[in-house]
């Protein structure tokens, strides 16, 4: 219909540029239009008593005359079009296994074989490809979709690369858009844009999931201490089962570590659940997080994901400095003694000149009191500053405490007390900068009066404050805890700090009780009381609230503390991609970046894979060393990175990661229309639904890529132009009849 009125299809108008082909100057057209307006105006105005009707008639007459003038200037469209049979069109069919769902591959084959392919072949030589991990040329339309990977980026890069030797006029991509190889990056899109080859994407598959429950993501810490309390943050989405109950499980092999029954959210919405579990004994573990299949589910293969957790047989040490004997010390020590993977070394000022040391490894340890050297302090991973005034520490020790967090990456906890925090002058100390709260600038902030504790919203989600696994029960348990023996005012939380628990004091309202924040490479917490011992003494001896809280507090202090050599990778699981970037952060004996280290990764993998990979200094980052390695075979890998400086070993670290093939294909199986539209838009192509492809071949003709010609197509003689003139005159005639001769 459009073409009947406008002479050419809409694509020509969309792609073409409007021009006037008569060659006469445009200003002359303007002058003529103005003269016509003056003439018509004069004719109307010279009659007595001009009114609105006369003006309307005059306007119609002026419009007809102006339109005729415009037609004399010969309006046209300038468009580029491909030379027939001289440009190749690449037709790429996604044959990854997600295309087998809902018979998407069958639909694609049917679309191509029922006319689209022939339509294209009439105009262009066509090259047919199938895309999975890479691009492969095929002679017939693919009928099977069984490749474990979709790598659209690789497919597009290869197709574009062919334009170097072939006049590729366009790419037609038939896919569901599910790229699970992480290959469609900005570099790929830049390459496609530079080639100026339009990519026309035909999308298959439903745009939302149907009758399915899927684990979108599961976040687990990659490293943990033995028996650590960990949390799996699981995101689940569903369609068709809103309100039904599903069971989420965390397993180590066949051993179920935790389960949680959840009520499924509304269609299209996702659910986020934090499930605590115990890390168990030391070792590299493949934890499976799954949601039990529901009857009638269309895709049970996306109900489980695997995550690696490296449970390390380490025993971090925490130094606890206490300014005077008090009950908190005893009960913190007792809680720590229940944790065989934490060593709590305490030093207590019993008299003005005497210390009592507990948990020391040898008689010389802490013999002179609080450490005053990097070597002595940085051997610990965590630090607790109890009821001791800032002035007790000399300036060097105060700097060390800050460096302990900032440079060494340790965790520090400040407790409340009559000589702690503001009452101990910490508000004026350098360390105040790293505290998560703005300490009041006054004394008298410590009170030996009752205060009750309550979790904040952040505390509900935090593992640090998790006494009960169930979040609601945990919140209620905190509310039911006995009152604290004392409390300290600590001021407001700093921006970026996390207040996990508040204290409620009669007549004073709420204020932060437990606040945390990151500082430099480490972390800092303030627990504004020295009276949590009542949680132990005022509850049944079998109640473990106090012990659980303090064990988690101590583990929080040291759980993410980096040693002198730390190796990381971007992901825990490399799904359908083999490139594994490794990065090591290497520090010298003083925990300063080591720029002259020799760093090597010894990698072991499935089937006897063994490799030594050198890590080279990263540009512009002192102490950082990087390498890219290809993990070809699926399975679990272990990389031990060793850093040396001369003959001396600076440190070593172990990284575990996993390669999976064909698993990601089962996730996010609905059509990724957003991605396809983005590809099409950025390349100059279009997105099509399968039933809208009738104009595809014509659209391709108007491409500027390949061998094309520029042509001018007149539109002044399009039927619509004459119909417009006739319409305007008919309107004038009708108005004259209605109003009488004007």
Partner 1 sequence: MRKPLAIFALVSALAGSVWAFQRNIRALFPDTYDDSPPADAAEKTEFYFARLRYPNVRGSGMWWSRGSWTVDYPKADRQFMQGVRRLTRIHANSMERIVDLVSDDIFNYPFVYVVEAGHWDLPDAQARKLREFIDRGGFLMTDDFHGTFEWEVFTASLNKGFGDRPIIDIENADPIFHVLYDLDVRWQVPGIVNYPFQRTYEYDGYEPKWRAIRDDKGRIVVGICHNMDNGDAWEWADSPHYPEKYASQAYRTGINFIIYAMTH
DSSP string over 190-239: HHHHHHT--EEEEE-S-SS--SEEEEEEEE--SEE-TT-EEEEEEEEEEE
Binding mask 606-645 for partner 1 (x = CB under 8 A): ----------------------------------------
3-state secondary structure 540-566: CCCCCHHHHHHHHHHHHHHCCCCCCEE
**742 contacts: CB under 8 Å, gap ≥ 6:** 53, 54, 57, 735, 736
Verify binding: residue 327, partner 1, rule CB under 8 A: yes
Assess 350 for contact with partner 1 (CB under 8 A): yes
Residue 385 and residue 401 in contact, taking contact as beta carbons nearer than 8 Å: yes
For residues 234 and 216, what is the distance between their CA atoms, to the nearest angstrom? 8
Between 418 and 652, name the residue whose CB sits nearer to partner 1.
418
Answer yes or no whether residue 349 interacts with partner 1 by CB under 8 A: yes
Please say whether the beta carbons of 412 and 420 come within 8 A. no
Site membership for partner 1, residue 28 (CB under 8 A): no
Yes or no: say if 638 and 153 are a contact pair by the CB < 8 Å rule: no
Q: Can you tell me the distance from the alpha carbon of 107 to that of 171, in angstroms, rounded to the nearest whole number?
A: 19
Given 448, 473, 571, 630, the residue binding partner 1 (CB under 8 A):
448
Please report, as residue ranges, which positions from 541 to 560 form the binding site for partner 1 (by CB under 8 A).
541
Nearer Cβ to partner 1, position 337 or 704?
337
726 binds partner 1 (CB under 8 A): no
Q: Which of positions 518-537 make contact with partner 1 (CB under 8 A)?
A: 530, 533-534, 536-537
Residue 307: its H or E element: strand 304-311
Asked if 333 interacts with partner 1 (CB under 8 A), we say: yes
CB closer to partner 1 out of 185 and 540: 540
**172 in Cβ contact with 698 (< 8 Å):** no
Neighbours of 740 (CB within 10 A): 7
The candidate with the shortest Cα–Cα distance to 496, out of 522, 511, 510, 515, is 515
What angle separates helix 186-195 from helix 152-161, to the nearest 10 degrees? 30
Phi, psi of 219 (to 5 degrees): -100, 125
Q: Is 356 in the site for partner 1 (CB under 8 A)?
A: yes
Which member of 210, 330, 510, 710 binds partner 1 (CB under 8 A)?
330
Looking at 213, 348, 501, 680, which residue binds partner 1 (CB under 8 A)?
A: 348
C-beta closer to partner 1: residue 135 or 485: 485
Does position 341 interact with partner 1 (CB under 8 A)? The reply is: no
Residue from 337, 389, 640, 704 that binds partner 1 (CB under 8 A)?
337
> Does position 324 bind partner 1 by CB under 8 A?
yes
DSSP β-ladder status, 355-358 and 343-349: antiparallel
Residues 652-671 that bind partner 1 (CB under 8 A): none
CA distance 206 to 239: 12
199 is written with which tokens?
């990519």
* Smallest gap from residue 325 Cβ to partner 1 (A): 4
Total interface residues for partner 1 by CB under 8 A: 32
- Residue among 143 and 537 whose Cβ is closer to partner 1: 537
> Residue 329 Cβ, how far from partner 1 at the closest point, in Å?
6
Options 153-161, 173-181, 323-331, 512-520: segment touching partner 1 (CB under 8 A): 323-331
**Residue 381 touching partner 1 (CB under 8 A):** no
Asked if 211 touches partner 1 (CB under 8 A), the answer is no
Residues of the shown chain interacting with partner 1 in the complex, contacts defined by CB under 8 A? 323-327, 329-331, 333-334, 337, 346, 348-352, 354, 356, 358, 418, 448-449, 530, 533-534, 536-541
């Amino acid at each position: 219909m459009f073409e009947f009125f406008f002479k050419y299809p809409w694509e020509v108008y969309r792609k073409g540029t409007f021009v006037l082909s008569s060659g006469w100057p445009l200003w002359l057209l303007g002058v003529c239009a103005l003269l016509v307006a003056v003439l018509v105006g004069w004719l109307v105005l010279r009659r007595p008593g001009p009114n609105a009707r006369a003006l309307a008639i005059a306007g119609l007459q002026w419009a007809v005359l102006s339109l005729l003038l415009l037609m004399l200037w010969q309006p046209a469209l300038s468009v580029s079009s491909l030379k027939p049979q001289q440009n190749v069109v690449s037709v790429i069919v996604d044959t990854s296994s997600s295309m087998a769902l809902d018979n998407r591959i069958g639909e694609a084959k049917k679309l191509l074989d029922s006319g689209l392919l022939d339509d294209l072949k009439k105009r262009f030589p066509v090259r047919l490809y199938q895309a999975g991990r890479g691009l492969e040329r095929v002679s017939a339309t693919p009928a099977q979709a069984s490749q474990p990977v979709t790598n659209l980026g690789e497919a597009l890069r290869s197709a574009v690369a062919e334009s170097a030797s072939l006049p590729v006029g366009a790419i037609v991509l038939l896919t569901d858009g599910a790229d699970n190889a992480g290959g469609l990056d900005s570099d790929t899109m830049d390459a496609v844009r530079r080639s100026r080859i339009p990519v026309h994407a035909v999308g298959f598959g439903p745009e939302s999931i149907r009758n399915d429950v899927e684990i979108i993501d599961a976040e687990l810490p990659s490293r943990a201490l033995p028996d650590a309390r960990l949390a799996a943050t699981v995101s689940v989405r569903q369609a068709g089962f809103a309100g039904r109950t599903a069971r989420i499980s965390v397993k180590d092999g066949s051993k179920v570590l935790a389960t949680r029954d959840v009520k499924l959210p509304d269609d299209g919405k996702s659910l986020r659940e934090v499930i605590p579990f115990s890390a168990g004994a030391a070792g590299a573990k493949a934890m499976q997080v799954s949601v039990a299949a529901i009857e009638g589910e269309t895709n049970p293969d996306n109900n489980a994901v695997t995550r690696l957790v490296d449970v390390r047989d380490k025993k971090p040490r925490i130094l606890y400095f206490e300014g005077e004997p008090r009950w908190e010390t005893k009960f913190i020590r007792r809680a720590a003694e229940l944790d065989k993977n934490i060593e709590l070394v305490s030093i207590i000022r019993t008299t003005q000149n005497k210390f009592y040391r507990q948990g020391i490894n040898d008689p010389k340890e802490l013999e002179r009191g609080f450490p005053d050297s990097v070597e002595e302090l940085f051997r610990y991973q965590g630090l607790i500053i109890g009821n001791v005034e800032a002035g007790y520490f000399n300036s060097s020790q105060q700097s060390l405490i800050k460096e302990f967090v900032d440079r060494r990456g340790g965790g520090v906890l400040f407790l409340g007390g009559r000589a702690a925090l503001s009452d101990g002058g910490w508000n004026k100390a350098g360390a105040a900068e790293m505290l998560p709260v703005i300490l009041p600038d006054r004394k008298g902030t410590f009170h030996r009066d009752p205060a009750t504790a309550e979790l904040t919203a952040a505390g509900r989600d935090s593992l640090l404050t998790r006494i009960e696994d169930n979040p609601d029960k945990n919140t209620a348990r905190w509310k039911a805890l006995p009152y604290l023996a004392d409390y300290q005012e600590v001021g407001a939380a700093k921006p970026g700090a996390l207040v996990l628990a508040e204290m409620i004091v009669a007549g004073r309202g709420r204020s932060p009780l437990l606040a945390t924040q990151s500082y430099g490479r480490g972390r800092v917490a303030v627990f504004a009381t020295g009276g949590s011992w009542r949680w132990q003494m005022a509850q049944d001896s079998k109640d473990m609230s106090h012990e659980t809280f303090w064990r988690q507090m101590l583990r929080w202090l040291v759980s993410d503390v980096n040693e002198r050599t730390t190796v990381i990778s971007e992901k825990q699981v490399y799904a359908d991609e083999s490139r594994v970037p490794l990065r090591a952060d290497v520090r010298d004996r003083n925990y300063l970046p080591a720029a002259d280290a020799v760093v090597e990764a010894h990698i072991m993998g499935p089937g006897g894979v063994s490799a030594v990979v050198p890590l080279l200094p990263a540009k512009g980052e002192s102490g950082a060393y990087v390498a890219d390695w290809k993990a070809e075979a699926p399975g679990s890998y272990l990389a031990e990175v060793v850093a040396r400086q001369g003959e001396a070993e600076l440190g070593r670290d172990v990284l575990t990661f996993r390669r999976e093939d064909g698993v990601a294909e089962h996730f996010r199986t609905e059509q990724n229309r957003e991605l396809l539209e983005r590809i099409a838009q950025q390349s100059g192509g279009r997105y099509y639904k399968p039933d809208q492809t009738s104009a595809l071949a014509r659209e391709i003709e108007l491409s500027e890529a390949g061998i094309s010609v520029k042509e001018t197509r007149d539109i002044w003689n399009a039927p619509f132009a004459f119909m417009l003139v006739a319409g305007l005159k008919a309107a004038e005639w009708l108005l004259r009849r209605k109003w009488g001769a004007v």
